[in-house]
Amino acid sequence: MNRLINSLTLMYLALLWSCTYEVVPEPQNCDDAPTLQVVSVTDADCGLASGAVQVAVSGGVEPYVFRLNEGGGQTESTFIGLSAGSHIIAVEDANGCEGSLEVQIANQDGVNTTVAKVDASCGSTNGRIDISAEGGATPYQFRINEQAFQSSSAFSGLAPGEYEVVTRDANGCESVQTVQLTSGVEFAAIEAFVENNCAISNCHDGTISPDFRTAATIQDRAARIEARTASKTMPPASSGRELTDQQIQDIACWVGDGAVLSTNP
């Protein structure tokens, strides 16, 4: 009898060990997440980091922490010493709920740009970025990321991801934009992959934390899910389930797009 009990105990432990046991806190309710509004913008002098922006926040729970371009946090809602281009300001409230806003700082006496894009499909390089420039001194030069400058303002053959777009005029004045090309992978597909292959009996189905039956938890653990599915340790081999290479790639693309739950505006 004792042998039977021991065998059943070992089988139950094996089922538990086949799944990752991770205790995570319950996500905060962010129905009243903080929202940012621009109060004032000071454009930059050509070639100088002399721009500034002030924002105000509504909603959420004080105190707030503000960040510029994923930099360190501060309690002040004003940022100075900004160069021309696009900047992302984010706010986090006392509950960990977040909001963000993109702000454009223009060159007062140099080149300024607008960008049009065509998103790329997951796993492909069919994305495109087109730059329109005005002001400053011609001719203009353009580049993306760390590539060399070129005279053409069009960049094609791009994969999903984030790109730094730089426009330089004949006087050396530059405008910098950050452009995100998304893959368009919908969360509904990712949710189905996870629920059907990971939120299974004696695993992430509510019996073991985290509970992957909830959209918020999948989003909160997106980076971890991407890493484990890429290494093919999730779902575990003992489960008898396996994601296809396309499903694994779709998960990576969804995370790369920002792991959003909805693409609707």
Domain borders along the chain are 35-105, 112-181, 185-265
User: Is pLDDT of 108 > 60?
Assistant: yes
Domain covering 35-105 assigned CATH 2.40.128 in the classification: no
**pLDDT of amino acid 137:** 92
* 28 band by pLDDT with thresholds 50, 70 and 90: low
Q: What is the pTM of this model?
A: 0.69
CA-to-CA distance for 86 and 239, rounded, in angstroms?
47
Tell me the CATH number for domain 112-181: 2.60.40.1080
Beta strand pairing status for 65-68 and 78-82? unpaired
- Which one is predicted more confidently, 199 or 161? 161
CB atoms closer than 10 angstroms to residue 82: 21
35-105 shares its CATH topology with 112-181: yes
Q: Tell me the average pLDDT of the chain.
A: 86
* 206 band by pLDDT with thresholds 50, 70 and 90: confident
The pLDDT tens digits for 63-100 are 999 999 988 999 999 999 998 888 999 999 999 999 99
- Which one is predicted more confidently, 12 or 201? 201
**pLDDT of amino acid 11:** 47
**pLDDT of amino acid 19:** 56
* 208 band by pLDDT with thresholds 50, 70 and 90: confident
The pLDDT tens digits for 213-249 are 888 889 889 999 999 999 999 888 888 889 999 999 9
User: Is pLDDT of 21 > 50?
Assistant: no
Contacts of 245 (CB under 8 A, 6+ apart): none
The pLDDT tens digits for 53-73 are 999 999 999 999 999 998 899
**pLDDT of amino acid 18:** 46
Tell me the sheet residues that pair with 52: 42, 80
Q: Which amino acid is located at 142 in the chain?
A: F
The order of strands in the sheet holding 51-58 is: 35-42, 51-58, 78-82
Q: What is the mean pLDDT of residues 251-256?
A: 92
- Which one is predicted more confidently, 29 or 175? 175
* 207 band by pLDDT with thresholds 50, 70 and 90: confident
Of 244, 252, 240, 243, give the one whose Cα is nearest residue 18: 240
